[in-house]
Structure 1
Amino acid sequence: MNDILKQKAAGIKLVLTDCDGVLTDAGVYFGDDGEYLKKFNMRDGMGVERLRRYAGVETGIVTGERSPSVIKRAEKLRITELHLGIKDKATVFKEICNRLELQPSEIAYIGDDYNDMEIMQLAGLSACPADAMPFLKAHADIICSLTGGAGCFREFAEFIIDSKVATSVKDGIVTLSNGRKIGKGHPSYIIAEIGINHNGSLEIAKKLIDEAVAAKVDAVKFQKRTPEICVPKDQWEVMRDTPWGRMSYIDYKRKTEFGISEYATIDQYCKKVGIDWFVSAWDAPSVDFMEQFDMVLYKLASASLTDFDLIQRILETGKPLMLSTGMSTIKEIENTMAFVKSFDEDYPLFIAHSTSAYPCPPQELNLKMIQTLENKYPGMPVGYSGHETGLATTVAAVAMGATFVERHFTLDRAMWGSDHAASVEPQGLQRLVRDIRDIELAAGDGFKRVYESELAPMKRLRVNISDEYKEKPLI
């Protein structure tokens, strides 16, 4: 039952709440003009902020009262979805769904009294405080352990956050929002980086996704940029020969950048074929753009390791962050790690060893850095982002402890574009996945044992056979 509720909570995009009996203890203070003060709980206020920061979920208030205190509290918490003096909450609920283009299953509601019953039945996930009316408790999905005005909203908020966002790193393992685990003791998370190898074509992108699914990788990754931010001004008007003719560099970058319609299609397509997807975001507006989609994590490209404004914006989403460390010194890596830890000591974080050469010669891969990073940051999943031309060294990275690996992926290395030459083609990707899974299977558990397949050679070749095997029949 708890798993079903977590699945519901993972799809929530808006939390609506009653006021009296949830955000307050229903106690009132009367002044000369009647009721105008209420006692709100600070922990509940933090729950509103944490929902926004870590799960990308906004909060709305739907209440039958018109207290000025509620208006002030909403302003303080930056709650703009505020509905006062409401007699028919179900009608307001339907209006919110239509206006925000949300499904009822994407809205949660927490209330405490009989007038909350109808809206709770419409919501995708419902909750009530511990001191709610008995009739309401019988119909709520979740009954909080805390009472109204004493933290019940925060309790409900944390349940949604835990269901939507990856857990903190624990024992070297991060659990993504879809339940997939990355870290020691789990199969290596294999990422096919499509990046910009779609060359601006949605059809090529879908073909690459199909090939990635056929190869049985775990995820595909794209890159998202705002060209006007990421392309230096002095490069804007430099002319380039492209498949679309000769054009300025800024126009070329605009041509290859996917927008809302393409990423909406990619989101739906990846869900349909059952593969994770995410992006490397290269600037803060790109993060804001990508927050429209339910990605499992964000990747920070090596070039962005020192871009703390961008990192801050990603951290504010609460989604797991995968750091790539190419072209970086140990000091730069330490500074970025310290920045993330200062934001949240337990932030879900991965770190990938990488060398930013395209293609990278074997002597510069430096795979022992995987173990160096493991020792430096114990309890954190460490992986490998490779740009070499062969497959063996990526397989070796897994043998050396990489809990995730990423390789650029293309339909044909001869295609036009900057990243194709250092990419893996479909057949190579299939071999890479196969070899990585063979390596993981072959690693075993480290406990010495005699296998059944060894009994016949033992009886045929060994001079002295232990008593425990002398009478053991051959299979």
Structure 2
Amino acid sequence: MRSLDISGRPICDTSEAYVIAEIGHNHGGSVARAEALFQAAAAAGASAVKLQKRDNRSLFTQAMYNEPYTGAHSYGATYGEHREALEFDRPQYLHLQQVARALGIDFFATAFDLPSVDFLAELGVPAIKIASADLTNTPLLNHAAKTGLALVLSTGGGSMDEVRRACDEILPLNPRLALLQCTAAYPAVPEDLNLRIITTYREAFPDVVVGFSGHDLGPELSWIAYALGARVIEKHFTLDHGAKGSDHHFSLDPDQMTALTDGLRRTQAALGSAEKETGAREAAAIRKMGKKLVAARDLPGGHVLTAEDLVCKSPGDGIKPYRLGELVGSRLTRPLAADDDLRTEDLVSPSDVTAA
């Protein structure tokens, strides 16, 4: 059975959803705001909070690092300054790690480069996220897999061949993988989500936990993803949709995150069992509205039953109507009044009647 363990929490087909509140850079470079986001995510029922870790000098070309970046969401005059303003250092990560631990919520991050993988592994996080943009970055996938940590891999913008190549790179080194269907659009509209790919992944990778990283607005479509078999659900998280930053507008706020986690639990409960049988809550209604076979009129003992001797009436607490055909030809061992129940002990079977 497919299964993944993160911080001692089993994630499998029969488990509840593991919900990641993706904070990303919605903290705006403020540790205090990150703490507030952690607290709100924990209160909303999320399983984990996640940041993004970059070693900016090694990640970007010098030209990209130094290019002007002066839009409405900028935190610096150049793209490099912008990214540095949003980056937390080791002491800050250690502090936030303690905050998460006190809240009883997992804490990890997306690693965008090899130094960031090493940084997170040395920090002792329970998992590492790999972003969709690095689906084809096999050196990064290889390096992250060798940590032995649980890996959560988004697949936005990728082809099935690229997804297979990524899994072929990771799984021989590390089976602890969650593979997330994702659409790299911000926000993504329902028509972009292709949630059926969750089923495709489950069939193609029968030993891998499958999930959904949603950039859609609101929590509702994640419930469908769970019903299709996604057991890791990742959604961006904010305290203010109007705050400075490019991710806030499609992130869930605390009320929406609470609705997400509550709805996922209801979805799990509603899926229930794959075995079809009468449930305890159904019994009273089925008795009241169901039907049984009773005598259509007064019948003497020794009478051999015909179809006209029996009718279907409520309540449904006797012999089921589908047995009508097998009872025709049986002989009564006692007289019945109209509407009397038929009981198997009052009947001699047709074969015994014929033999006699």
Fold agreement, TM-score > 0.5: yes
Larger radius of gyration: 2
Distance 1:359 1:241 in 2: 19
Alignment CA distance shift 1:456-1:413 (3 Å): same
Deviations 1:30-85 (A, max 9, x none): xxxxxxxxxxxxxxxxxxxxxxxxxxxxxxxxxxxxxxxxxxxxxxxxxxxxxxxx
Task: State the one-letter code of the partner of 2:235.
Answer: R
Give the one of 187, 198, 201 matched to 1:359: 187
Give the one of 195, 206, 219 matched to 1:378: 206
Give the one of 186, 202, 205 matched to 2:31: 202
Distance 1:241 1:360 in 2: 22
Alignment CA distance shift 1:446-1:415 (3 Å): same
Distance 1:196 1:179 in 2: 27
Q: How far 1:261 moved relative to its partner?
A: 1.7
Q: How far 1:335 moved relative to its partner?
A: 1.4
CA contact (8 A) 2:73 2:246 kept: no
Pairing of 1:298-337 with structure 2 (within 5 A) = 298-337=128-167
Alignment CA distance shift 1:382-1:245 (3 Å): closer
Q: How far 1:468 moved relative to its partner?
A: 8.8
Q: How many residues align?
A: 297
Give the one of 59, 64, 74 matched to 1:230: 59
Task: State the one-letter code of the partner of 1:284.
Answer: L
- What secondary structure is seen at the aligned counterpart in 2 of 1:367? coil
Alignment CA distance shift 1:452-1:310 (3 Å): closer
Alignment CA distance shift 1:270-1:457 (3 Å): same
Q: How far 1:200 moved relative to its partner?
A: 0.5
Task: State the one-letter code of the partner of 2:266.
Answer: D
Deviations 1:316-340 (A, max 9, x none): 2111111111011111112111222
Give the one of 423, 432, 439 matched to 2:260: 432
Task: State the one-letter code of the partner of 1:287.
Answer: V
Q: How far 1:467 moved relative to its partner?
A: 3.4
CA contact (8 A) 2:75 2:81 kept: no
In the other structure, the counterpart of 1:288 is 118
- What secondary structure is seen at the aligned counterpart in 2 of 1:432? helix
Q: How far 1:225 moved relative to its partner?
A: 0.4
Alignment CA distance shift 1:377-1:244 (3 Å): closer
Distance 1:394 1:232 in 2: 36
User: What is the TM-score with the length of structure 2 in the denominator?
Assistant: 0.79
Residue 125 (structure 2) pairs with residue 263 (structure 1): no
Alignment CA distance shift 1:245-1:275 (3 Å): closer
- What secondary structure is seen at the aligned counterpart in 2 of 1:453? coil
Task: State the one-letter code of the partner of 2:196.
Answer: K
Q: How far 1:241 moved relative to its partner?
A: 4.6
In the other structure, the counterpart of 1:186 is 15
Distance 1:226 1:323 in 2: 19
Deviations 1:449-474 (A, max 9, x none): 3334334333432232143999xxxx
Q: How far 1:364 moved relative to its partner?
A: 0.8
Pairing of 1:38-437 with structure 2 (within 5 A) = 171-176=1-6, 178-235=7-64, 236-241=66-71, 247-342=77-172, 344=173, 347-437=175-265
Alignment CA distance shift 1:246-1:275 (3 Å): closer
Q: How far 1:247 moved relative to its partner?
A: 1.8
Q: How far 1:350 moved relative to its partner?
A: 1.4
Distance 1:282 1:313 in 2: 12
Distance 1:239 1:276 in 2: 33
Pairing of 1:435-474 with structure 2 (within 5 A) = 435-464=263-292, 465-467=316-318
Task: State the one-letter code of the partner of 2:211.
Answer: G
Alignment CA distance shift 1:306-1:246 (3 Å): closer
CA contact (8 A) 2:76 2:85 kept: no
Q: How far 1:244 moved relative to its partner?
A: 8.2
Distance 1:454 1:216 in 2: 31
Structure 2, gaps ≥5 residues long = 293-315, 321-340, 342-356
Distance 1:243 1:408 in 2: 17
CA contact (8 A) 1:241 1:247 kept: no
Distance 2:210 2:75 in 1: 42
Deviations 1:83-134 (A, max 9, x none): xxxxxxxxxxxxxxxxxxxxxxxxxxxxxxxxxxxxxxxxxxxxxxxxxxxx
Distance 2:276 2:74 in 1: 61
In the other structure, the counterpart of 2:306 is none
Distance 1:244 1:428 in 2: 27
User: What is the TM-score with the length of structure 1 in the denominator?
Assistant: 0.60
Q: How far 1:246 moved relative to its partner?
A: 5.6
CA contact (8 A) 1:287 1:313 kept: yes
Deviations 1:224-273 (A, max 9, x none): 00112333432323142567876222111101111112101111111111
Deviations 1:188-219 (A, max 9, x none): 11111111111101111111111111111111
CA contact (8 A) 1:242 1:252 kept: no
- What secondary structure is seen at the aligned counterpart in 2 of 1:347? coil
Task: State the one-letter code of the partner of 1:363.
Answer: E
Alignment CA distance shift 1:172-1:228 (3 Å): same
Task: State the one-letter code of the partner of 2:113.
Answer: D
CA contact (8 A) 2:49 2:107 kept: yes
In the other structure, the counterpart of 1:16 is none
